[in-house]
C-alpha cells in the first residue's frame, strides 16, 4: 500500500507543479493557455534524452528540461502579446495541435508514437533516488517562488495586466516583458514537471502530452481555485485521487468498472462546480450566476 | 464545534476510508489475483470487454475442472488505453492487490507498465497489442499473441496465390505501422509481389477521402489496412465510400465487432491466430461452445487470446502447486521456460526465451458480419 500511495503522491506532486505553473499564467496574468501539456512534453522528452544519452542525473535533467521548455515558451508568449481572451485560447489550441503532431513525427527526439523506453532511474550525485522527494522539493520551490512573485512588484504588474491591460500599459508597465517572463516561468516549471514525469514512468510517449492532458491541468486549476496559491494543488490532489479512490470500490463488475468510475467522477465534478463555482479554495462570492 | 458537524465529518471520513478497508482472508483460501489493465471506458472501451470476457471464461473453466487448489479472481483496473493510467493501475495491482499475474493490452500501456512489473517481478501478459517492439520488454513481460510482423509474413504466400500482388499500404505512423511497412518493403518482392504505394495516416485521422484518391491512383490489387481500434472501421468506410473496390486486407485487429458489423467490411480478409472452433482440439471446441452459450456470439481472436493468457497462468500455477512451490513471478517464469509448450485454444502454444508465443496463423474473411476462416 505504501508503494502505491508513494506512486500516487509522486504523480500528484508532478501534476501539482503543472497546475501551479499554469495557474501563474491563467490566474495571475490572465493568459488562458490550453497548451500547457506541450511544455510538459518538451520537458519530459528533454529530461528523458539527458537520462538516456548522458547520465540519469535528476538535477541535470530538470535543468535542461527547464531551459528547453522555458526557451521555447516564446512560441506561446508571442501570440499572447498580440491577442487576448478567446483569441489567445484559439492560438494556444493551434500550438497544442501542432506540437502533438511534431511529437509524433520527430522520431529522433521523441521516439514517435512508440515513445522513449527504458529511461533509467534518477540519481543525484551518483546515488539512485526516488522521484517523490525530488517532485516534492520542486513543487515546494515553485509554490515558494509563486508566492514571492505574487506578492512582489512583478505579481502586482501581472494582476494589473490581467484586470485592465490597457490601463496597465498607460501607467507605464512593460506589458510585453511581464507577459513573456510570466510565460517563461510557467513553461520552465512545466518542463521540470515533465522531466520528473519521464524519470518516474521510465517511459514517455505523445499520449501523455495531448489536448486532454492540457484540459485536465486546466480543470485542476479551475476546480482548486484560479488565482490562489494552494487551489491548483488541491485540484491536482482531487482529480488524481478521486478516480484512484473509486478503483477501490469492490462491488463494481470487472467489465463495468470504467463506465461506473467515469460516471461517478463526472457527477462529482459537476456537483463541485455547482456548489463551489470559484473552486475549492477560491472566493465563495465569485463565480455564481446572478439573476 | 457542534455535534452534528462532528458527526457529519466522522461520517464523511468513514465513507472516504471505506474503499480502502479490505476483508482479510485466510492464507490457504486466498484467491490468486489476476489483474487486468484494460481500457474499460473511452474510445477503446470495446476492447476491454472483449479481453475480460475471455479471461473470465478461463477462470470459470479452471474452477469447474478443479485445476487449482485456490480460486482465481479478476481485479480490473481501467487504463483508458493511456500509459499514465496504466502505471497508476499497475502500481495498485502490484502493491495493494498483490496481483500474481497481470493481463495487459495496448502497446503504450504495455511499455509504461513493464518497468513497474519488472521491478516487482510480476508477470505481465499481453494478448492484444501486436507491435513488434513489445518483444523483450522484460523477462516478466510475455506475449500470447503472434506479433504483427509474424502475422503479415505468414499472409504473403496467400496473397500471391490469390493474385493480389500489388499492395497499397494505409498505415498508422507508429511502431506497428512501421514494422508492417518494413516487412512489406523487404519481403513482398521476395515472393513476387510489389508495394504499389504507402500512405501514412495520423492515429487520430477520421477523414480518408484524400487517402482514397491517392490509393486509387496507385492501382493496387489490394489495400492493406494497418491500424487498430475504431479507426479501422472509419478507414474501411472511407475507402469504400470513395470508390475503392479492391479487396481490403489486414491483420487480427480487424476482428472487432465495430469492423465486422459494418456492411462496408464485407469481404475484408485478415490474418489471426489459427482457431478451428469446430474441428480443433477439445479445449478449443469447449471454449467456443461455452463462449457462445454465455455471450450468444462467436468468440473473436481477443477473447481467445485472453482466455489463453489466463489458462496459461492456471497451467503454470498447477505445476507449482504440485511441487508445493510459491506462485510468483520468478517461479512462473522458470516453469514457463521449463515446459515451453502448452495446450491452449487454437492448439499448441510454444514460447521462446523472451516469453513470446508462436502459433499457427490462419486467414479469415468477413462474411455477413461473421469472421469465417478461409485458409
Ordered domains of chain B (ranges, CATH): 30-145+280-359 (3.40.50.2300), 149-274+363-373 (3.40.50.2300)
Give me the mean pLDDT over the B4-33 stretch.
Answer: 55
CB contact under 8 A, B108 and A207: yes
Over 60: is that where the pLDDT of A291 sits?
no
CB contact under 8 A, A255 and B203: no
What is the residue-averaged pLDDT of chain A? 88
CB contact under 8 A, B40 and A258: yes
Domain membership flag for residue A107? yes
**Which chain A residues are Cβ-neighbours of B15 within 8 angstroms?**
none
| Closest Cβ–Cβ partner in A114, A254, A259 for B52 | A254
pTM of the model: 0.79
**Which chain B residues are Cβ-neighbours of A251 within 8 angstroms?**
none
A255 reaches B (C-beta below 8 A)? yes
pLDDT at B174: 79
pLDDT at A276: 80
CB contact under 8 A, B76 and A255: yes
Q: If pLDDT is split at 50, 70 and 90, which confidence band does B117 have?
A: very high
CB pairs under 8 A between A and B: 114
Inter-residue contact B116 to B87 (CB < 8 Å)? yes
Inter-residue contact B319 to B112 (CB < 8 Å)? no
Gap from B331 CA to chain A (nearest CA, Å): 23
CB contact under 8 A, A112 and B40: no
- Which residue of B lies nearest to A255 if distances are taken between CA atoms? B49
**Percent above pLDDT 90 for chain B:** 61
- Which residue of A lies nearest to B98 if distances are taken between CA atoms? A1
CB contact under 8 A, A3 and B42: no
Domain membership flag for residue A70? yes
In this structure, what C-alpha cell is assigned to residue A82? 498580440
Q: If pLDDT is split at 50, 70 and 90, which confidence band does A288 have?
A: low
A277 reaches B (C-beta below 8 A)? no
In this structure, what C-alpha cell is assigned to residue B355? 516469453
Instruction: Round to whole Å and give the CA distance between B287 and A273.
Output: 49
- Which residue of B lies nearest to A119 if distances are taken between CA atoms? B115
E strand or H helix at A161, and its extent? helix A153-163
Domain membership flag for residue A280? no
ipTM over 0.95: no
Gap from A63 CA to chain B (nearest CA, Å): 23
pLDDT at A141: 96
Domain membership flag for residue A284? no
Over 50: is that where the pLDDT of B22 sits?
no
Domain count, chain A: 1
Please give the full DSSP string across B172-219, using - where no structure is assigned.
ESSHHHHHHHHHHHHHTGGGT-EEEEEEEE-TT----HHHHHHHHHH-
Tens digits of residue pLDDT in B65-78: 999 999 999 999 99
In this structure, what C-alpha cell is assigned to residue A268? 462529482
Instruction: Round to whole Å and give the CA distance between B177 and B226.
Output: 6
Range of the domain at A133: 2-275
Domain membership flag for residue A127? yes
Residue A41 dihedral angles phi and psi, to the nearest 5°:
-65, -45
Number of residues in chain A: 291
Tens digits of residue pLDDT in A187-210: 999 999 999 999 999 899 898 999
Tens digits of residue pLDDT in A127-146: 999 999 999 999 999 999 99
Inter-residue contact B133 to B107 (CB < 8 Å)? yes
CATH number of the domain enclosing A197? 1.10.3470
Gap from B76 CA to chain A (nearest CA, Å): 5
CB contact under 8 A, B88 and A207: no
Tens digits of residue pLDDT in B129-178: 888 888 889 999 999 988 877 788 889 999 999 999 999 999 988 778 88
| Closest Cβ–Cβ partner in A101, A104, A258 for B48 | A258
In this structure, what C-alpha cell is assigned to residue A170? 498607460
More confident call, B290 vs B13: B290
Q: Which of B76, B118, B141 would you mutate first to test chain A, the one with the most A CBs within 10 A?
A: B76
A249 reaches B (C-beta below 8 A)? yes
**Which chain B residues are Cβ-neighbours of A113 within 8 angstroms?**
108, 172-175, 203
pLDDT at B262: 93
Q: Which of B84, B121, B148, B178 would you mutate first to test chain A, the one with the most A CBs within 10 A?
A: B84
Instruction: Round to whole Å and give the CA distance between A51 and A58.
Output: 8
Domain membership flag for residue A75? yes
pLDDT at A287: 55
Find the Cα–Cα–Cα–Cα dihedral B310, B100, A198, A120, rounded to 10°: -110
Inter-residue contact B37 to B78 (CB < 8 Å)? no
Q: How many helices and strands (H and E) does chain B possess?
A: 12, 15
A140 reaches B (C-beta below 8 A)? no
> B22-36, B86-100, B176-190: which has the minimum mean pLDDT?
B22-36
Over 50: is that where the pLDDT of B352 sits?
yes
pLDDT at A77: 80
Over 50: is that where the pLDDT of B19 sits?
no
Gap from B267 CA to chain A (nearest CA, Å): 31
Tens digits of residue pLDDT in A228-244: 999 999 999 988 888 77
Domain membership flag for residue A289? no
A2 reaches B (C-beta below 8 A)? yes
User: Is residue B111 helix, strand or coil?
Assistant: helix
Residue B145 dihedral angles phi and psi, to the nearest 5°:
-135, 135
Strand order in the sheet with B347-351: B341-344, B347-351, B357-358
The answer for residues whose C-beta is within 8 angstroms of residue A14's C-beta and 6 or more apart is: A131, A135, A193, A196, A197, A200
CB contact under 8 A, A248 and B88: no
Give me the mean pLDDT over the A166-183 stretch.
Answer: 87
Instruction: Round to whole Å and give the CA distance between A111 and B107.
Output: 14
Q: If pLDDT is split at 50, 70 and 90, which confidence band does A83 have?
A: confident
Dihedral over Cα of A200, B135, B349, B361: its sign: positive
The answer for residues whose C-beta is within 8 angstroms of residue A186's C-beta and 6 or more apart is: A21, A22, A24, A25, A36, A39, A73
Domain membership flag for residue A282? no
Amino acid at each position: 500500500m505504501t508503494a502505491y500511495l508513494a506512486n500516487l503522491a509522486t504523480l500528484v506532486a508532478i501534476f501539482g507543479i503543472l497546475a501551479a505553473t499554469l495557474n501563474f499564467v491563467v490566474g495571475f496574468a490572465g493568459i488562458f493557455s490550453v497548451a500547457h501539456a506541450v511544455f510538459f512534453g518538451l520537458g519530459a522528452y528533454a529530461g528523458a534524452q539527458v537520462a538516456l544519452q548522458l547520465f540519469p542525473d535528476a538535477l541535470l535533467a530538470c535543468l535542461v528540461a527547464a531551459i528547453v521548455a522555458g526557451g521555447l515558451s516564446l512560441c506561446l508568449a508571442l501570440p499572447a502579446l498580440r491577442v487576448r481572451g478567446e483569441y489567445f485560447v484559439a492560438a494556444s489550441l493551434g500550438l497544442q495541435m501542432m506540437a502533438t503532431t511534431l511529437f509524433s513525427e520527430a522520431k529522433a527526439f521523441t521516439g514517435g508514437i512508440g515513445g522513449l523506453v527504458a529511461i533509467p532511474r534518477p540519481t543525484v550525485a551518483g546515488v539512485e533516488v526516488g522521484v517523490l522527494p525530488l517532485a516534492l522539493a520542486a513543487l515546494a520551490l515553485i509554490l515558494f517562488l509563486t508566492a514571492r512573485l505574487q506578492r512582489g512588484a512583478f505579481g502586482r504588474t501581472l494582476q494589473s495586466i490581467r484586470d485592465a491591460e490597457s490601463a496597465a500599459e498607460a501607467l507605464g508597465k512593460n506589458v510585453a516583458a511581464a507577459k513573456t517572463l510570466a510565460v517563461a516561468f510557467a513553461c520552465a516549471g512545466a518542463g521540470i514537471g515533465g522531466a520528473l514525469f519521464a524519470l518516474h514512468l521510465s517511459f514517455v510517449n505523445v499520449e501523455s502530452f495531448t489536448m486532454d492532458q492540457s484540459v485536465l491541468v486546466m480543470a485542476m486549476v479551475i476546480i482548486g481555485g484560479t488565482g490562489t496559491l494552494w487551489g491548483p494543488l488541491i485540484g491536482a490532489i482531487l482529480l488524481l485521487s478521486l478516480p484512484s479512490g473509486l478503483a477501490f470500490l469492490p462491488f463494481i463488475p470487472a467489465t463495468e468498472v470504467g463506465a461506473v468510475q467515469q460516471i461517478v467522477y463526472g457527477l462529482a465534478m459537476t456537483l463541485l462546480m455547482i456548489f463551489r463555482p470559484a473552486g475549492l479554495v477560491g472566493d465563495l462570492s465569485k463565480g455564481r450566476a446572478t439573476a | 464545534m457542534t455535534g452534528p458537524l462532528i458527526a457529519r465529518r466522522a461520517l464523511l471520513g468513514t465513507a472516504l476510508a471505506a474503499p480502502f478497508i479490505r476483508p482479510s482472508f485466510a492464507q490457504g483460501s486466498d484467491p490468486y489475483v489476476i489483474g487486468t489493465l484494460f481500457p474499460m471506458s473511452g474510445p477503446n472501451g470495446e476492447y476491454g470487454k472483449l479481453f475480460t470476457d475471455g479471461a473470465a471464461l478461463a477462470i470459470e473453466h479452471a474452477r469447474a475442472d478443479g485445476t487449482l487448489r485456490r480460486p482465481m479472481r479478476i481485479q480490473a483496473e481501467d487504463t483508458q488505453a493511456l500509459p499514465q493510467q496504466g502505471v497508476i493501475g499497475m502500481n495498485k495491482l502490484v502493491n495493494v492487490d498483490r496481483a500474481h499475474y497481470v493481463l495487459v493490452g495496448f502497446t503504450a500501456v504495455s511499455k509504461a507498465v513493464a518497468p513497474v512489473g519488472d521491478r516487482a517481478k510480476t508477470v505481465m501478459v499481453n494478448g492484444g497489442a501486436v507491435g513488434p517492439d513489445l518483444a523483450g520488454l522484460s523477462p516478466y513481460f510475455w506475449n500470447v499473441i503472434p506479433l504483427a510482423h509474424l502475422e503479415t509474413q505468414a499472409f504473403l504466400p496467400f496473397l500471391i496465390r490469390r493474385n493480389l500482388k500489388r499492395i497499397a499500404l494505409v498505415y498508422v505512423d507508429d511502431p506497428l505501422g512501421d514494422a508492417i511497412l518494413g516487412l512489406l518493403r523487404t519481403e513482398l518482392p521476395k515472393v513476387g509481389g510489389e508495394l504499389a504505394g504507402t500512405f501514412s495516416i495520423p492515429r487520430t485521422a477520421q477523414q480518408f477521402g484524400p487517402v482514397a484518391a491517392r490509393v486509387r491512383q496507385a492501382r493496387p490489387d489490394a489495400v492493406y489496412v494497418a491500424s487498430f481500434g475504431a479507426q479501422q472501421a472509419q478507414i474501411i468506410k472511407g475507402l469504400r465510400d470513395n470508390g475503392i473496390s479492391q479487396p481490403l486486407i489486414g491483420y487480427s485487429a480487424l476482428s472487432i465487432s465495430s469492423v465486422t458489423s459494418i456492411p462496408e467490411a464485407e469481404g475484408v480478409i485478415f490474418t489471426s491466430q489459427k482457431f478451428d472452433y469446430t474441428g480443433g482440439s477439445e479445449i478449443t471446441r469447449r471454449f467456443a461452445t461455452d463462449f457462445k452459450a454465455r455471450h450468444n456470439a462467436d468468440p473473436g481472436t481477443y477473447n481467445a487470446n485472453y482466455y489463453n493468457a489466463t489458462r496459461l497462468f492456471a497451467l503454470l500455477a498447477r505445476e507449482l502447486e504440485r511441487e508445493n512451490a510459491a506462485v510468483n513471478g520468478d517461479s512462473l517464469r522458470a516453469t514457463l521456460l521449463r515446459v515451453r509448450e502448452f495446450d491452449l485454444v487454437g492448439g499448441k502454444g510454444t514460447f521462446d526465451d523472451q516469453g513470446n508465443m508462436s502459433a499457427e496463423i490462419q486467414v479469415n474473411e468477413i462474411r455477413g458480419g461473421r469472421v469465417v476462416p478461409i485458409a
